Structure 1
Amino acid sequence: MDVEREHDMMWNPDKVWVEPDPGPRLAALRCNNLQQVVAQVRARGRTPRVCRYALRIDGHWPSNSLDAATALAVRNAWQVGGREQTFTDHQGTSSPELRTGWCLVRNQIRAGYADGVVVTTTGVISPRSDEYEAELHWFELRCAFVAVVAPTVQAGRL
């Protein structure tokens, strides 16, 4: 079906093509991975450990965002790292891979000090769906998860 669509797009360049919203697909990917990782960690008799990540706006410390991340972790009985596992970046840096704080989150995951990260919204990771998806895949490959306090789609699921 996708191949047919590509051929149609190539042979009918004047036709208007509507792209599906990637939000629901990405939310499902994130939720499924989160549930799998948490179940695996708990099956090993461990409590999932999480980092908190937020963006600073105009240099202000994101207390509310970090408190909301902590509250979500506590509700789910996850272990919240202290100040040493709380990371922030200035709002405005585009690619997550170029942000110091986000790279430190990845280092915590890579080193095995955390099983996931909690953010307030998906846009904190990246407002671009392709970058956000790449980050979800990065976490999935490392058996780690991304949890979102205020998901933009599929309300009621983590």
Structure 2
Amino acid sequence: MDVERERDARWNPQMVWVEPDPIARLAALRRDNLQQVVSQVLSKGRAPRVCRYALSVGGQWPSTSLGAATAFAVRNAWQVGGEGQTFTDHRGASSPNLRTGWRLVRKLVRSGYADGVVVTTTSVISPHADEYEQELNWFALHCAFVAVVAPASQVGRL
């Protein structure tokens, strides 16, 4: 379908072609997966278990971000893990796969101890739309979700 759109756009330059907003598409992907996983967990008679993840800047503990993630989870009646389920990394490594804390989040999900992760903005996971999408797909594949406190973040926009 995308190939056909590109071909048609090339052969019909006089037509106005509207490209879908990648931010909206990723937000819908995240939202749909979150709703599906939460529904499945609730149907089993338990609250979703979540861990929290944030980036620290200048060696400071990201207490505000983690507090916002906790408040968001509590408002949604999700079970928030304790200190063993709170993960942070220093801002710097752009790829989430290179960060120790993010790898621990994935390990917790993969082992079945968490149904999802709560972050403050999408850019905490990655400022690059393609990397962020890869992470969303990984969570969907492992029947887990990503919850974002402020989902209006502009991932992939410079």
Do both proteins adopt the same fold according to a TM-score greater than 0.5, normalized to the shorter chain? Answer: yes
Instruction: Give the 3-state SS of the residue equivalent to 2:71 in structure 1.
Output: helix
Aligned to 1:114: 114
Aligned to 2:103: 103
Q: Amino acid of the residue matched to residue 70 of structure 1?
A: T
Q: Amino acid of the residue matched to residue 105 of structure 2?
A: V
* Equivalences for residues 140-151 of structure 1 within 5 A: 140-151=140-151
Please give the TM-score of this superposition, normalised by the length of structure 1: 0.88
CA RMSD, 1 decimal: 1.8
Relative to structure 1, the CA distance from residue 92 to residue 19 in structure 2 (aligned partners, 3 Å threshold; closer, same or farther) is: farther
Q: Amino acid of the residue matched to residue 87 of structure 2?
A: F
Instruction: Give the 3-state SS of the residue equivalent to 1:114 in structure 2.
Output: coil
Taking the aligned partners of 1:36 and 1:87, their CA distance within structure 2 comes to 24
Q: How many residues align?
A: 149
Relative to structure 1, the CA distance from residue 11 to residue 31 in structure 2 (aligned partners, 3 Å threshold; closer, same or farther) is: same
Aligned to 1:80: 80
Taking the aligned partners of 1:9 and 1:56, their CA distance within structure 2 comes to 44
Aligned to 1:23: 23
Taking the aligned partners of 2:90 and 2:10, their CA distance within structure 1 comes to 41
Cα displacement (A) at 1:10: 7.3
Please give the TM-score of this superposition, normalised by the length of structure 2: 0.88
Q: Amino acid of the residue matched to residue 150 of structure 2?
A: A
Cα displacement (A) at 1:92: 1.2
> Are 1:6 and 2:18 counterparts?
no
Cα displacement (A) at 1:3: 1.9
Aligned to 1:38: 38
Taking the aligned partners of 1:81 and 1:57, their CA distance within structure 2 comes to 23
Q: Amino acid of the residue matched to residue 128 of structure 1?
A: H
Runs of 5+ in structure 2 lacking a partner? 154-158
Cα displacement (A) at 1:5: 2.8
Taking the aligned partners of 1:99 and 1:6, their CA distance within structure 2 comes to 36
Q: Amino acid of the residue matched to residue 50 of structure 1?
A: V
Taking the aligned partners of 2:109 and 2:27, their CA distance within structure 1 comes to 21
Taking the aligned partners of 1:18 and 1:100, their CA distance within structure 2 comes to 40
Taking the aligned partners of 2:27 and 2:64, their CA distance within structure 1 comes to 23
Taking the aligned partners of 2:96 and 2:21, their CA distance within structure 1 comes to 21
Aligned to 1:156: none
